[in-house]
Amino acid sequence: MPLHLLIGSDSRIIGCGPTLRRLFLGRDLLGQAFFEHFAVRRPSGLHDMAALHDRAGVKLYLASPHLPGPGLRGIAVPLAAGQGVLLNLSFGIGVIEAVRDLQLSDADFAATDLAMELLYVVEAKSAVTEELRGLTLRLQGAKTQAEEQALTDTLTGLRNRRALDLALQTAIDGASPFGLMHLDLDFFKAVNDTLGHAAGDHVLRMVAGVLVEETRRSDVVARVGGDEFVILLNGTADPIRLEQIAGRIIQRLSEPIAFGAHRCRIAASVGLTVSTFYTPPVAAIMLEDADRALYAAKHAGRACLRRHAPPSDLARM
């Protein structure tokens, strides 16, 4: 019984368990008055040995100013011939906090004490809970990564057609104005035919870099076909501003792109439409109008921009 006390008939401590002695940080309890170092909180009114005898076998709740934590539980057993009381103590339901706060180990408990088995169960539960938490985070991370991959063009790192459709519908539902550009590379087939697909892939990646540099983080740049791209410019509905952005893109993509010792020459045709032309905007119609404007740019000589004309403009023509 590492937490026991032997209390003589004169209420002085005549025996003390090793764990209890250690908890008192070397303070010698032998010969000390029990009621000066311990207070019986429940049942109330236990202030002398007679009252302690009368409560033999009843669960006692004790506290000591020298011990931190929630206190101790105990059972008093009278010794033969009125020689005193054996008081066997425990931490009760506070054993987990006691082990943590007082840095106890299994050596501080009796071999038959179920407290250690409880601690093993708690430790096992904590380990399992932590492992499950880690597994949940890993699964969530894997799910996020899979979702991201499902929305990404593997060659360029841009958004793909599915991601564009989602972003376009989100922009329409948000009722904020936006611009939509459909861009197609001119002379790209010649690069593939003369230098091979490796050169073509390199050109596509360089084009993607230009498109990202000329747009904002809030915009969506998607590769929707072999050499076709769509740019969703959120919050930007001024046709003049959009034409300036398209002009910079066309100018940059007209510059030669190095591939080893070769210089790949391409150009870009752009079709543009704006959400404010529609009441309400419809994704499929906007994409179709941007596509028509793109082919108008190609028929106009390529490496240029054409803007979809809203119905009001067409009526005046």
Task: Tell me: cis bond preceding 65? Omega within 30 of 0 counts.
Answer: no
The span from the CA of 229 to the CA of 240, in Å, is 21
DSSP class of residue 186?
Answer: E
b/e code 280-317 from CB counts within 10 Å (16+ = b)? ebeeeebbebbbbbbebbbeeeebbbbbbbeeeeeeee
Annotation says 227 is catalytic: yes
* Integer CA distances (angstroms), 232 to 64, 79, 105, 143, 181, in order: 71, 89, 64, 26, 7
Residue 176: CB atoms within 10 A of its CB come to: 13
The span from the CA of 219 to the CA of 179, in Å, is 10
Alpha helices of the chain — where are they, by DSSP H? 18-23, 34-37, 49-54, 95-102, 115-150, 161-174, 188-195, 197-213, 239-253, 283-299, 311-316
Q: What is the Cβ-side half-sphere exposure of residue 18, based on CA atoms within 13 angstroms?
A: 8
Given the residues 108, 165, 219, 227, the one annotated as active site: 227
- Three-state DSSP class for 2? coil
The span from the CA of 122 to the CA of 126, in Å, is 6
User: Would you name the residues annotated as active-site residues?
Assistant: 227
